[in-house]
Amino acid sequence: MMKMGRKSKAQKIIEELPKQDSFDKTYLMLYDFLGGPPKPVFYSNLHRITDLTENGSSLIQYSCYKTTSAKAVLAIQTLASKEGAETIIYEVKETSPEKILEQLKVAQIENEPED
């Protein structure tokens, strides 16, 4: 008989969330461990959440996580908070430098004084 191991913290957090996920928005989750770096198991659980939610998530840097999964962002926020981090979640719209430059040009034209 095969012995089942304990569930990871990531699995327990995911199981507490609704089963249905939503992928129609992009989220940026920032977290900060003020008392020093988190325990290495934090990053193991963070990667488990990514694997369990099967989304296009990515760790941009050690304290910034991008995802289109509402379930993943909530799970990571819960994990980070339980580990003592301050957290903030942003709903973002991706853009490009070209689009930003075009917006600046339009704004400049609109704000030019009339002769």
Residues 66-93: tens digit of each pLDDT: 999 999 999 999 999 999 999 999 999 9
Q: What is the pLDDT of residue 2?
A: 53
Torsion of CA 103, 105, 106, 109, to 10 degrees: 160
Q: What is the pLDDT of residue 31?
A: 95
pTM: 0.80
Residue 113 in tokens: 């004084």
SS3 label, residue 12: helix
Domains and CATH numbers, the chain: 9-111 (3.30.70)
Q: Is 27 exposed, middle or buried (0-12, 13-18, 19+ CB in 10 A)?
A: buried
User: Which ranges of the chain have pLDDT less than 70?
Assistant: 1-4, 115
DSSP state of 10: H
Q: What is the pLDDT of residue 3?
A: 56
